[in-house]
Amino acid sequence: NPVRFSGVWRFHELLPFAPQNKIVTVGEGQTLLQQANEVAKYVGMNEGQLHLQYEGMNPSGSFKDNGMCAAVTHAAMMEAKRAACASTGNTSASLALYCSATQLMKAVIFIGSGKISYGKLSQALDYGALTVQIAGDFDDAMIRVRQVAQELGIYLVNSVNPFRLEGQKTIMYRVLEALQWEVPDWIVVPGGNLGNSSAFGKAFHELKQHGLIDRIPRLAVINASGADTLYELFERRGVRWNGGDVNMEPIVEHNDRMDREGIRADTIASAIEINRPVNLKKCLRALDWMDGVVRQVDDQQILDAKAKVAAGGYGCEPASAASVAGAKLLRSEGVIAPSDRVVCILTGHELKDPTATVAYHTTDQELFNKTLGSRGVTKASFANR
Ligand code: F0G
């Protein structure tokens, strides 16, 4: 029974939209939660208290497969012939993989020109997705794909798709399973389009309602400082879920200011280079349910954290390391205590986005400057050796 070998579908009772005989799987979700004591030391936590949920082990190398198997299952139930997404790379790689592995539908992907790492682009191309490069960045691609999908009746698998989020809930089920259903104190996750954070909030809310857990962990969503819309709205302007009655004024004002001043998302963590997250409201709901906080970390903090994570045995891409950098920041602020039990989500594999990694470790000053110097990164790893 293939359902048993999927780290998503073995929880099918908790995502009951799909009858078992309709389930699409390529073996996603066989991931690990590991104690990481070197990283704990770096973050400032007591030994044994920091855990990494390593989602790079998924078939396409990122956490996206958790949600994509659910979205593609639903698309197949709807007899969709084509499925589309905008992407900073991982969503598109995942969609392309599911489409080629299952032959159920054709993948159509929209990417911002020059805004995708070769690791991710190569996956989409090799899996045979129709790959459309559009002028602009992810936020532009997102607008375009919504128009095109609606006009042409193509099934949209971005995380506006609620079935994606159903699948991504299982990341939290596996975390709890690994902790013998002892609820941790903190879940720390990078924030881009805010699908994961939204899904995690829903997961815990439902588990509590079902009486399967007695308390809910706190949520920390970590933005890159060059793509910090959530941080700006939640922490600086105090925008809250407010029982669903979100005050839209600061949000509209923020978007208008970005338009007026031509502000674009800009970070080495290309996966989360997003300034108009589509799941903003759902994430505000998750922050409410999970007594959450939002922080931002810069490219230097991200790359430093990433090198520590990898030196501890878990290679991840830059966006993923934002979680560890964020945990370190919250620890230094005293928001996270050294004795808290913290789970950082490592969202994608090391090999997804290697350019910055090489530049960070090289002793070739020219290469370092070219790739990282313009981003305010001043310290390379070799300077630490
Ligand atoms: N980490 C990685 C490696 C990602 O690829 C993404 C999102 C995130 C974190 C942020 O997650 O959107 O749920 O807040 N990547 C999307 C993509 C946008 O197109 O692959 P989120």
pLDDT digits (tens, 9 = 90+) for 159-194: 899 999 999 999 999 999 999 999 999 999 999 999
- pLDDT score of 381: 87
Residue ranges in the chain whose pLDDT is less than 70: 384-385
User: Closest ligand 1 atom, CA of 93?
Assistant: 20
Q: Is 88 close to ligand 1, i.e. is its CB under 6 Å away? A: yes
DSSP code string of 310-362: HHTT--B-HHHHHHHHHHHHHHHTTSS-TTS-EEEEE-BBGGGS-HHHHHHH-
Q: Which residues pair with 107 in a beta bridge?
A: 83
Q: Is 191 close to ligand 1, i.e. is its CB under 6 Å away? A: yes
- The amino acid that residue 380 corresponds to is A
Asked if the domains 32-60+162-352 and 63-156 are classified in one and the same CATH topology, the answer is yes
CATH number, span 63-156? 3.40.50.1100
User: Strands, E, within the chain: which ranges?
Assistant: 32-35, 50-54, 82-87, 106-112, 130-134, 155-156, 186-190, 218-224, 293-297, 342-346
Choose one of 109, 196, 353 to mutate for the ligand 1 pocket test, by most ligand atoms within 8 angstroms of C-beta: 196
Q: Are residues 287 and 169 in contact, defined by beta-carbon separation less than 8 angstroms?
A: no
- pLDDT score of 328: 98
d(CA 346, CA 322): 9
- pLDDT score of 385: 64
Choose one of 54, 88, 222 to mutate for the ligand 1 pocket test, by most ligand atoms within 8 angstroms of C-beta: 88
Would the pTM count as exceeding 0.95? yes
Q: Is 272 close to ligand 1, i.e. is its CB under 6 Å away? A: yes
Choose one of 54, 137, 193 to mutate for the ligand 1 pocket test, by most ligand atoms within 8 angstroms of C-beta: 193
Give domain limits for the chain: 32-60+162-352, 63-156, 355-384
Q: Is 194 close to ligand 1, i.e. is its CB under 6 Å away? A: yes
* CA 91 to ligand 1 centroid distance, Å: 7
What Cα–Cα distance (Å) separates residue 117 from each residue in 122, 145, 218?
A: 9, 20, 32
* CA 271 to ligand 1 centroid distance, Å: 5
Residue located via tokens 């407010």: 242
Q: Is 60 close to ligand 1, i.e. is its CB under 6 Å away? A: no
Task: Encode 192-204: b = buried (16+ Cβ within 10 Å), e = exposed.
Answer: bbbbbbbbbbbbb
User: What's the topology of domain 32-60+162-352?
Assistant: Rossmann fold (3.40.50)
Q: Is 316 close to ligand 1, i.e. is its CB under 6 Å away? A: no
